[in-house]
Amino acid sequence: MTYKVLRWTAARVVMVAVAASATVNSTFPHDITSRCLLQKVTLNTREPIRCALHCQNTPGCSLYCLQDLVCTLYNAMVTQAWNGKTLLTGIPFQRCFASSHDPRDIALSIANSSSSSTFNSDRNSQQMYNGYTCFFVDYCFMTINTVEPYWKGDLGVPYQVSTIKILTRQDANTKHFFQDVTVRLGNSSDYFSNPIFAFYAGPAPLKALVTLVSPSPAFGRYLLIQSGVSDFFCMCSIQIFK
Ligand SMILES: *[C@@H]1O[C@H](CO)[C@@H](O)[C@H](O)[C@H]1NC(C)=O
Ligand SMILES: *[C@@H]1O[C@H](CO)[C@@H](O)[C@H](O)[C@H]1NC(C)=O
């Protein structure tokens, strides 16, 4: 939490608690408006804190954007590394902030990633840490329908990890898309030989935020997430905590 003094009038000084929020790339695809818009408010100041307060007081708000005096609130999970790169005709704002970012999340350390396959280039393995999740599955990671598909991430150096949170698919029946999932973390670049971090039987329900906790904190550099079934494998974002 950060505390800021907000002056509404010279006579009235109010102390408010604003959840930590991070600046993110401010270009988003058009579907963010049709699918994830919560509210548009016209402010009488350009101070982002006023928009932050509206977001904080609006259930489901996880992204707020400013364009002149207009504050727009969205229910959309934006990764820390989101760069809007795959957008052809996106909506640009002057500034956007994600209120869902946790400064303890080390997913930004992921140096590179790969996967057993990718459904298409919009749904590549990087979307797990540089994509965003509104509703539609684009900007999520997804494989083709195959046997025990997997995702691999390299944290660059070994980290102690206790908890991993994965946001699953939001827009369709996820019956086998996240099921019998094994997570491994260790120091061997042969990802499949590292110790098991956690197992999730599932299947994950639609729009799940799956939390995987290791019985004892694990320490490692190479992270493997593998489905135990034959199907598409889909994950929209990952958060990694010490
Ligand atoms: C990341 O790159 C390094 C060096 O090229 C490679 O050894 C490693 O296997 C890669 N990791 C993934 C997940 O692709
Ligand atoms: C990985 O290496 C670190 C030291 O760099 C060590 O503390 C840790 O136990 C190793 N992890 C495994 C699973 O062997």
| Residues 9-61: tens digit of each pLDDT | 433 334 445 556 789 999 988 888 888 999 999 999 888 899 999 999 999 99
CA of 66 to the centre of ligand 1 (A): 38
| Residues 145-168: tens digit of each pLDDT | 999 999 999 999 999 999 999 999
Domain boundary among 98, 130, 156: 98
Residue span of the structural domain in which 93 resides:
2-98
Distances (CA, A) of 156 to 103, 110, 112, 167, 220: 18, 7, 8, 23, 10
Range with the largest mean pLDDT of 11-25, 87-101, 127-141: 127-141
Region 75-88: mean pLDDT is 82
Please state whether the peptide bond connecting residue 203 to the residue before it is cis, i.e. omega within 30 degrees of 0. Answer: yes
- Taking alpha carbons only, the member of 125, 74, 126 closest to residue 100 is 74
Number of domains forming the structure of the chain = 2
- Taking alpha carbons only, the member of 107, 145, 129, 118 closest to residue 229 is 145
Confidence of residue 229 (pLDDT cuts 50, 70, 90): very high
| Closest residue to atom 9 of ligand 1, CA basis | 189
In this prediction, residue 156 carries a pLDDT of 96
Ligand 2 is surrounded, with C-beta below 6 A, by 158, 186-187, 195, 219-220
**84 in the same domain as 43:** yes
Instruction: Look up residue 22 and give its two tokens.
Output: 């991070």
Average pLDDT over the chain reads 87
More confident position, 8 or 47: 47
**160 in the same domain as 189:** yes
Residue-by-residue DSSP string for 160-190: EEEEEEEE--SSS--TTTS-SEEEEEES-SS
Instruction: Look up residue 152 and give its two tokens.
Output: 């691999």
Task: Confirm or reject: Cβ of 114 under 6 Å from ligand 1.
Answer: yes
> 157 forms bridges with which residues in the sheet?
none
| Pocket perturbation via mutation, ligand 1, pick of 110, 112, 129, 191 by most ligand atoms within 8 A of CB | 112
